[in-house]
Structure 1
Amino acid sequence: MHKLPDFSAIIFDMDGLVLDTETTYVAAWQQAARVMGHEFPEAFCLSMSGLHSNVVGQRLRDFCGGGFNLEKFARLSADFWRQYVNTHGISTKKGFNRLLALIDELEIPYCLATNSPMVNAYQCLEFAGIGDVFSTVITRDHVQQGKPEPEIFLKAAELLDVSISRCLVVEDSHAGIEAASRAGAFSVLIPSVLPVDPRTVELCDVMMENLAQLADVISTWNWTLGRTLASPH
């Protein structure tokens, strides 16, 4: 059984962890790239999961050439993304609703901490039908440096009024796990892209398959006393 430490709060990433936004971004990016005369393999798009926009921009130029028009690409991909989500919406990841109900029942504080800009984060949450779920949302706009720097998680712990050492950070990307590790949080890796980078597996504190599995572990954990309860099964 996966073991968790005594914890007081949970900090969730958004893209690829709570929301299946990777699917929507890949579709939009590939359409925009084709318009501009490029083909983006799915693996290339997914490799930029969780990265700050400046890093993404550099990788795009490395892949397409230094003259690649980032502004045009951003405009086109945003248009294609809106078309996609207006038609298909955005799905929550497996187990999220169950986990949310459980931590609400246990009155465990939680928040969202994402590298996405604030306007994009709230837009995605609305498209997924969970715009009112997170009372505290920390975005790239709220910090000087995004993941993999630890600032966003330290800010989240501050707003939750909980020591970062008593926070579970749940992430799907290497950048997020690195940020959690540098912040001093206990990190739970639930990868959205397979195969998983061995460096990420080594750096995280525990890895699980999905949010449903995390719910299973928490359901057998008396988080207020910090001890595992005997399973009824």
Structure 2
Amino acid sequence: MINAVIFDMDGVLIDTEKYLVRFWVQAGREAGFDVRPEHGLLIRSLAGKYAGPLLKKIFGKNFDYPAVRARRKELMARHIAENGLEKKPFVDETLDALRSMGIKTAVATATDRERARKYLTQIGVLDKFNKIICADMVENGKPQPDIYLYACSQIGEVPKNCMAVEDSPNGVRSAASAGLVTVMVPDLTPPDDELKALIQAKGESLKDIPEIVKRINGRDMDFQI
């Protein structure tokens, strides 16, 4: 029985993943490294303690992850200040539908708590969530299960009674390893064979989430849509 739905933020609630990739590329190239879009895709939702070593492995020990990340954040902040945030389709309708069904909602994001609350306020949905759980609240970020386990504890539910909505491979791995019913709503990349084995359903958009919850709650928990 699904009693709560926990959403990733970037790429699920706000349309920012394309800019994260774009500005990782720009910041990396400004620093003299051949950073390409596939590298940005690789580190979506990946905690810094894992992303830094991974990028050093790819680009060499001289890759200054903190400096490049700081520049990426600067570029991203400037873009958002000038252009605002794009809310993903059906965010409000989905959250309102889940609330009407008596389903708790939360956010589990790789973004720090200050920016997460700022972004969710900007798109007008902060008060629609029971809890906002951020990467800086746990020891190990995505793809480790910590953030989802902590989110479940904060909303008073066991993982098997919670659904995670994710768009990226690292997010899917985090939610699935925590034992949540995991649904992928792809943003920049579709699920590959590895991810298909980890998810219980794939949505075309957030609009599908309430119906998926209804179908899960009306059937055996081991089903696949």
> Does TM, normalized by the shorter one, top 0.5?
yes
Shift of 1:216: 4.2
CA gap 1:206/1:51 in 2 versus in 1, 3 angstroms: same
1:138 partner SS = strand
Amino acid at match of 1:41: R
Separation (CA, whole Å) in 1 of partners of 2:122 and 2:210: 24
Shift of 1:136: 0.8
Separation (CA, whole Å) in 2 of partners of 1:137 and 1:182: 20
Q: How does 1:125-136 map to 2 (within 5 A)?
A: 125-136=120-131
Aligned to 1:31: 26
Aligned to 2:78: 83
Structure 2 residue corresponding to 1:102, chosen from 57, 75, 97: 97
Separation (CA, whole Å) in 1 of partners of 2:52 and 2:81: 26
Separation (CA, whole Å) in 2 of partners of 1:13 and 1:154: 14
Q: Deviations over 1:1-48 (max 9, x none)?
A: xxxxx3111111112112212122123222222321234322221121
Structure 1: which 5+ residue stretches go unaligned? Answer: 1-5, 229-233
Separation (CA, whole Å) in 2 of partners of 1:19 and 1:222: 26
CA gap 1:217/1:74 in 2 versus in 1, 3 angstroms: closer
Shift of 1:84: 0.6
1:132 partner SS = helix
Q: How does 1:1-233 map to 2 (within 5 A)?
A: 6-218=1-213, 221=214, 226-227=217-218
Separation (CA, whole Å) in 1 of partners of 2:163 and 2:203: 13
CA gap 1:195/1:164 in 2 versus in 1, 3 angstroms: closer
Amino acid at match of 2:218: R
For the 8 Å contact 1:29–1:77, the answer to whether it is kept is yes
Structure 2: which 5+ residue stretches go unaligned? Answer: 220-225
Amino acid at match of 1:116: T
| Greater displacement, 89-98 / 8-17 | 89-98
For the 8 Å contact 2:105–2:128, the answer to whether it is kept is no
TM-score (norm 2): 0.87
CA gap 1:118/1:94 in 2 versus in 1, 3 angstroms: same
| Greater displacement, 50-59 / 189-198 | 189-198
Shift of 1:214: 2.0
Q: Deviations over 1:32-72 (max 9, x none)?
A: 22321234322221121121112211222223221112232
Q: CA RMSD in A?
A: 2.1
TM-score (norm 1): 0.84
For the 8 Å contact 1:24–1:90, the answer to whether it is kept is no
| Greater displacement, 159-168 / 23-32 | 23-32
Counting aligned pairs with the same residue, the percent is: 27
For the 8 Å contact 1:24–1:85, the answer to whether it is kept is no
Separation (CA, whole Å) in 1 of partners of 2:52 and 2:158: 34
2:128 partner SS = coil
Separation (CA, whole Å) in 2 of partners of 1:173 and 1:38: 24
For the 8 Å contact 2:104–2:130, the answer to whether it is kept is no
